Amino acid sequence: MTTIAPHDPAARELFDEMARWPIYDPHSHIDAHRPAARNLDEVLGYHYYTELAHSAGMPAAKVAPELSPAVRVRNLAENLHSLDNTIQYSWLIEIARTFHGFADDRITPDNIGTLYDRADHSQDGAAWDQKVWDRTNLEAIFLTNDFDDPLDGWDTRRYVPCLRTDDLVLKLHEPSTVERLRRSTGLDVQDYATLREAIGVLFGRFVAKGARACAISLPPDFVPHKGTPLRGVTPVRRALHQMDLRPDEHDEIRKVVFWTIAEFCAEFRLPFDLMIGPIRNVYPAGVAGGRDLFDRRVSLHDYRELFNHFSGVTFPVSTLSPDAGPELVAYSWIFPNVVPLGHWWYSNIPAYIADDLRARLQAVPKSKVVGYYSDAYKLEFVLPKFNMFRRVLAETLAAECLRGQGWSADRALELAKMVLIDNPRRVFRREA
Amino acid sequence: MTTIAPHDPAARELFDEMARWPIYDPHSHIDAHRPAARNLDEVLGYHYYTELAHSAGMPAAKVAPELSPAVRVRNLAENLHSLDNTIQYSWLIEIARTFHGFADDRITPDNIGTLYDRADHSQDGAAWDQKVWDRTNLEAIFLTNDFDDPLDGWDTRRYVPCLRTDDLVLKLHEPSTVERLRRSTGLDVQDYATLREAIGVLFGRFVAKGARACAISLPPDFVPHKGTPLRGVTPVRRALHQMDLRPDEHDEIRKVVFWTIAEFCAEFRLPFDLMIGPIRNVYPAGVAGGRDLFDRRVSLHDYRELFNHFSGVTFPVSTLSPDAGPELVAYSWIFPNVVPLGHWWYSNIPAYIADDLRARLQAVPKSKVVGYYSDAYKLEFVLPKFNMFRRVLAETLAAECLRGQGWSADRALELAKMVLIDNPRRVFRREA
Amino acid sequence: MTTIAPHDPAARELFDEMARWPIYDPHSHIDAHRPAARNLDEVLGYHYYTELAHSAGMPAAKVAPELSPAVRVRNLAENLHSLDNTIQYSWLIEIARTFHGFADDRITPDNIGTLYDRADHSQDGAAWDQKVWDRTNLEAIFLTNDFDDPLDGWDTRRYVPCLRTDDLVLKLHEPSTVERLRRSTGLDVQDYATLREAIGVLFGRFVAKGARACAISLPPDFVPHKGTPLRGVTPVRRALHQMDLRPDEHDEIRKVVFWTIAEFCAEFRLPFDLMIGPIRNVYPAGVAGGRDLFDRRVSLHDYRELFNHFSGVTFPVSTLSPDAGPELVAYSWIFPNVVPLGHWWYSNIPAYIADDLRARLQAVPKSKVVGYYSDAYKLEFVLPKFNMFRRVLAETLAAECLRGQGWSADRALELAKMVLIDNPRRVFRREA
């Protein structure tokens, strides 16, 4: 058996049915040009493994980019024992079993060589991508595309574009941002007016290419509000010309660009995924991808003006700090355009998923609960992550709905299907 | 069967016993002149249903006050399917089964007509109130009375008055407040001295009429402290004459009036219910009753001066943000006059009740845990809400006390009875 | 049977095995000269019982120091019934059964006399200490020593010294602090330079005597950062001479002394236990030890500079506010030198332990999870507190690892042993 099913028979029955369904994955970091891992290094290089091994004492140099893939993998294999308790390790085992015929309980320096060879698909190219896609039973997976991504060369109904706007909002003052913006739009961006025009061009291109969402990750101290155009114009112009900026000018720029993007989401009828909470580079000496953390003192109350103003924009929201979960339940319960979206990063472990999911299923209209996304960088991770969520969902439904409310299994599965498939399909559809 | 009993046999046994006990409900919004619902619109008009349906996409106009009750009910029935997963929906089904002989699993446009007819008690008046009262096995239920409520025309031992002081503290500057205060006390309220005198009159009247508590809901940014009389006198006078107020003056007024009310609670030996957390009108476009939310960044540490100063006043405390629950456990564990009171509003779902209740039963002296209140607007809701709590209580006792500590069922039931009945009776009694 | 084992058979099997292991207790307040309780008053005098009884209505005078031990015990016994639901009461029963042959279910005014007599070991001295040590199967227990403790007169491999630095950081301005510092170091501490020298002397002495940790408890508003030496020098000098200090000077002193201590932890390779959260004397009218609480608005993000700067210092961290637990999971997941340490005080009840432990086991490398410490003042408490933790650990492993992941019992026990024994041994070892 390649995945673990729930132990409780009622939950197992629900899980077994869900395991037959296709997966609709509304947020990932997949590269559509290289979706599956060509070798084990592309699996083990996932920041969860490098950061946990580093946290357990492995020097960052052991996974440095200049090392060969085989050496990096071997170095990690020597350190995996210290994290074989984690849920992230369980994804790894499930990948090894499902995709590479691995049969042992743990990955060790002794069996890593064989596993490395079995996971070598450097010669298989797109055929391997297709194999992983089929085995995963993927229906569609959303990407996270830089604003200057040409979006060419793949089937955008399967690998669905999503416009990531972090750079525009948070790094407008960096020379490369405006340079990329000018190049990708062909516009001579010099001030707020031309910036706005350029952003409109980006939205037009993304939508024409089949984008179904706009997305951004925001630090906990960000408070969106509708600035006066006059206040924002000068700082934006100064940023576009790399002039020195005061902290309040940086903040004004973030606000005015963010609000402008929300306006385009309204105009183009794109859901705007808000990933709220990360602070970048809290631990600069960490491994790549393992440097960001958060400050738990954050509240969705800071987003009230946004949610009220853009009543026509759907905001699928993920919050990073696990203890902020109940607030998202309350805001989704009241605001029609706030939708709880999956379980993110530091909140993406069964302990926190179970608590949040139970509350969402008890208090948010079922048509609004968007169950899960993989956040994956390689296709292989989609299945074990979704299986983790499907286990928690099955156990929650068995406890709360079957035993707790006397529901039939069919009624519970109807709810599961909404949460897993129907809702993401509907929330992220774009009507003509 | 009209209510769902716990699936676990040990919990079911405890629940079955609790279900035979009378209900003592220390907080509601019942109108003693019209306690039970005369028709289904008065049940479905509860903000939980209108706000959840609105959150799921139903336009607010579908439940506008100018529509007829039958049309509002039909409109809601067409939208209930999207929230049939929620715990609030389960209350509705239990009401329909218990009080209206409903036998289906869900309320739909197909069966709503029959249910509407069965729930029509417009001709039955007080007889229906009594029937619901008896079926619920109510012993007493607390009201939430405006300060100018004449408190006439009902048995105040059953429908127990409670002085709500929100308007005095938070809306003193509004012309209607001072107008109502002058009219209801017959005093020419013009300054702090006469305001204080008037509040004393209100307390005297309420206590004479059998009031057992004073209550207030407070926003998360409110920090009570004993102001100097001199500082508060001028802003209060300005408020009473509707003069323009600065934000710091508003804050000073809230503080001085709140503190004055706490002084009268001490003098009249009334418990002072603190409902901490709501921010009003966060979502102005919401349906009536569905516009308030909260900011989770709140701490009981802000109330330390109050709890210390009024050591003779009992403060039954409810907090709105679910993640603030553990702090209430700690403050109730230390302060003799802080009592954890029920599970409120956005915290009133089994997921959060279970977590809070387990902690309260493990760490707060049992004589201080006031289990539950219905917060109901119509009598029909008391039973399903209390049954929800009794289920969670039974499951918690079965897991933690029977299986976890080896207690007998009798010992667990003794604790349950304190939490459900003995404690609210004692905390809210008034000795001569 | 003197302790309660888990009801679930799989958990019970794990627990029964753990119950045979020695206990390694990395944080307590034991007095090495009088480790076990000489009489029942020294057990019942634990602040948990006096504060809970006081919270339930017992006047503080009933446990005043001027009363005789027998009277204090009898007074408490009359009030224990109101807290016989709490987990703290269950420790008491387990102590009475394990160490004093108590056979009843509850401690009452009727049986307190017999129990008092049985618990009288005033004549047994060190023999009784040894008996409790053996019955507990203790391997080592850490103390919390004042900086001027001579550390003489006991086996420091069993009763391991730990340098408590609260007074130096938080009370440097009090005359007694500098007086004790001068006396214990023989240095004429007059300014920052001599203060630093004196702290170095303390570290040298503690390490020579076998200390394995430095520890401090910090209020929620403390934000460590590396001040400029110049800024701190003057306030420190003023504090050492008891001159008046502004709030910002107090804060500067806390920061510079704390940072200096962290530098010595680095130099002497001592782990630095951070106990984050308490605010002292929030409830001044409380009983001794029952006056401190917290403000839940605290974040480990405030500690980022410390964790980054002292990458060579291990920081075992306990947070006081239960809802801050998930943040500690995330920071331990990323920072190699941040280690989640036990479950502290207001977080030390099964409800919160279970939630935190489940998350730590799912997301923190297993080699970093330091399971538990007793925080005990008397040896008798070590066993029931550790048994409480071992029950939660057994139940968590049975649910999450055996049933949830299909692990063998041996693999689960291997993890349990790391968490309970191997990790504290390794984290707090000092290599030559």
Task: Find the mean pLDDT for residues B143-166.
Answer: 97
Cβ neighbours of B324 in C, within 8 Å: 296, 323
CB C310 within 8 A of CB C335: no
CA dihedral A117, A118, A119, A125 (to 10 degrees): 100
Alpha carbon of B82: minimum distance to chain A alpha carbons (Å): 6
**Residue A291 in contact with partner chain C when CB distance is under 8 A:** yes
Integer Cα distance of A377 and A178 in angstroms: 27
Run of H or E residues at C140: strand C138-142
* Tokens coding B195: 């305001």
Residues of B50-83 as b/e, b for ≥16 C-beta within 10 angstroms? Answer: bbbbbbbebebebbeeeeebbebbbbbbebbbbb
3-state secondary structure of A305: helix
Question: What residue in B sits closest to A418 (Cα-Cα)?
Answer: B82
Phi-psi region of B417 (alpha: psi -120 to 50; beta: other; left: phi over 0): alpha
* pLDDT tops 50 at residue A3: yes
* Tokens coding B260: 């004055």
The counts of H helices and E strands in chain B are 19, 10
Integer Cα distance of A322 and B72 in angstroms: 39
Residue of A308, A363, A411 with shortest CB distance to B86: A363
CB spacing of B366 vs C283 below 8 angstroms: no
CB spacing of C405 vs A4 below 8 angstroms: yes
Task: Find the mean pLDDT for residues A150-178.
Answer: 97
The pLDDT value recorded for residue C230 is: 80
Residues 6+ apart with CB under 8 A from B277: B217, B218, B219, B220, B294, B298, B319, B320, B321, B324
Task: Find the mean pLDDT for residues A28-39.
Answer: 98
List, as one string, the DSSP characters of B216-258: EEE-TT-------HHHHHHHHHHHHTT----HHHHHHHHHHHH
* Tokens coding A386: 């979704």
Task: Find the mean pLDDT for residues A294-307.
Answer: 98
The pLDDT value recorded for residue A430 is: 64
CB spacing of A334 vs B87 below 8 angstroms: no
Integer Cα distance of C218 and A331 in angstroms: 34
For the CA atoms of chain A, what is the radius of gyration?
22
Cβ neighbours of C87 in B, within 8 Å: 362-363
Give the Cα-Cα-Cα angle A257, A258, A259 (nearest 5 degrees): 90
Q: Which chains touch C (3 or more CB pairs under 8 A)?
A: A, B
Instruction: Convert the pLDDT of each residue in C98-110 to its tens digit.
Output: 999 999 999 999 9
Please, which pLDDT band fits residue B231 given cuts at 50, 70 and 90? confident
3-state secondary structure of B158: coil
Cβ neighbours of C304 in A, within 8 Å: 282-283, 293
**Residue B297 in contact with partner chain A when CB distance is under 8 A:** yes
| Interface probe, candidates C314, C333, C408, C418, chain A, greatest A C-beta count within 10 A | C333
In what side-by-side order are the strands of the sheet with B23-25?
Answer: B23-25, B138-142, B159-160
Mean model confidence pLDDT for chain C: 96
| Interface probe, candidates C298, C303, C327, C414, chain A, greatest A C-beta count within 10 A | C327
Residue of A324, A403, A404 with shortest CB distance to B296: A324
Task: Find the mean pLDDT for residues B3-10.
Answer: 95
Residue of C57, C87, C283 with shortest CB distance to B363: C87
The pLDDT value recorded for residue B321 is: 98
The pLDDT value recorded for residue B194 is: 97
Taking the alpha carbons at both ends of chain A, their separation in whole angstroms is 44
Cβ neighbours of A105 in C, within 8 Å: 411
Residue of C8, C87, C294 with shortest CB distance to B330: C294
The C residues from 34 to 73 touching B (CB cutoff 8 Å) are: 51-57
Reported pTM: 0.98
Q: Which chains touch A (3 or more CB pairs under 8 A)?
A: B, C
Q: Which chains touch B (3 or more CB pairs under 8 A)?
A: A, C
**Residue A400 in contact with partner chain B when CB distance is under 8 A:** yes
3-state secondary structure of A314: coil
Cβ neighbours of C4 in B, within 8 Å: 404-406
Q: How far is CA C269 from CA A57, C198, C264, in A?
A: 16, 18, 8
Percent over 90 (pLDDT), chain B: 97
CA dihedral C86, C87, C89, C93 (to 10 degrees): 140
**Residue A114 in contact with partner chain B when CB distance is under 8 A:** no
Which of C321, C357, C362 is closest to C341 using CA atoms? C357
Integer Cα distance of C175 and A127 in angstroms: 77
CB count within 10 Å of CB C183 equals 10
**Residue A158 in contact with partner chain B when CB distance is under 8 A:** no
Residues of A356-368 as b/e, b for ≥16 C-beta within 10 angstroms? Answer: bbbbbbbbbbbbb
pLDDT by residue for chain C (432 residues), tens digit each?
689 999 999 999 999 999 999 999 999 999 999 999 999 999 999 999 999 999 999 999 999 999 999 999 999 999 999 999 999 999 999 999 999 999 999 999 999 999 999 999 999 989 999 999 999 999 999 999 999 999 999 999 999 999 999 999 999 999 999 999 999 999 999 999 999 999 999 999 999 999 999 999 999 999 999 977 788 899 999 999 999 999 999 999 999 999 999 999 999 999 999 999 999 999 999 999 999 999 999 999 999 999 999 999 999 999 999 999 999 999 999 999 999 999 999 999 999 999 999 999 999 999 999 999 999 999 999 999 999 999 999 999 999 999 999 999 999 999 999 999 999 999 998 654
**Residue B429 in contact with partner chain C when CB distance is under 8 A:** no
| Interface probe, candidates A4, A49, A50, A55, chain C, greatest C C-beta count within 10 A | A55
**Residue B190 in contact with partner chain C when CB distance is under 8 A:** no
Amino acid at C194: T
Run of H or E residues at C340: strand C338-340
The pLDDT value recorded for residue B228 is: 76
Integer Cα distance of C226 and C259 in angstroms: 6
**Residue C364 in contact with partner chain A when CB distance is under 8 A:** yes
The pLDDT value recorded for residue B430 is: 65
Q: How far is CA A397 from CA A178, A368, A408, B1, B4, in A?
A: 49, 17, 10, 22, 16
Integer Cα distance of B117 and A341 in angstroms: 40
* pLDDT tops 50 at residue B432: no
Cβ neighbours of C307 in A, within 8 Å: 283
| Interface probe, candidates A362, A370, A402, chain B, greatest B C-beta count within 10 A | A362
Cβ neighbours of B401 in C, within 8 Å: 85
Question: What residue in C sits closest to A345 (Cα-Cα)?
Answer: C330
Cβ neighbours of A406 in B, within 8 Å: 4
Mean model confidence pLDDT for chain A: 96
* pLDDT tops 60 at residue A203: yes
**Residue B426 in contact with partner chain C when CB distance is under 8 A:** no
Q: What are phi and psi of A412, to 5 degrees?
A: -65, -40
Cβ neighbours of C290 in B, within 8 Å: 334
CB A283 within 8 A of CB C307: yes
* Tokens coding A303: 């987003």
Integer Cα distance of A420 and A393 in angstroms: 10
Integer Cα distance of A425 and A418 in angstroms: 9
Integer Cα distance of B332 and C341 in angstroms: 25
Residue of A57, A297, A351 with shortest CB distance to C359: A351
**Residue A243 in contact with partner chain B when CB distance is under 8 A:** no
**Residue B332 in contact with partner chain C when CB distance is under 8 A:** yes
Residue of C324, C358, C368 with shortest CB distance to A56: C368
Integer Cα distance of B257 and B236 in angstroms: 8
Question: What residue in B sits closest to C322 (Cα-Cα)?
Answer: B326
Alpha carbon of C210: minimum distance to chain B alpha carbons (Å): 36
Task: Find the mean pLDDT for residues B17-27.
Answer: 98
Cβ neighbours of B90 in A, within 8 Å: 405
Q: What is the three-state SS of B352-366?
A: HHHHHHHHHHHHCCH
CB spacing of B55 vs A332 below 8 angstroms: yes
The pLDDT value recorded for residue A210 is: 97
The pLDDT value recorded for residue B230 is: 80
Alpha carbon of B314: minimum distance to chain C alpha carbons (Å): 11
Run of H or E residues at B76: helix B69-77
Looking at residue A418, the DSSP 8-state letter turns out to be I
Please, which pLDDT band fits residue B246 given cuts at 50, 70 and 90? very high
Percent over 90 (pLDDT), chain A: 97
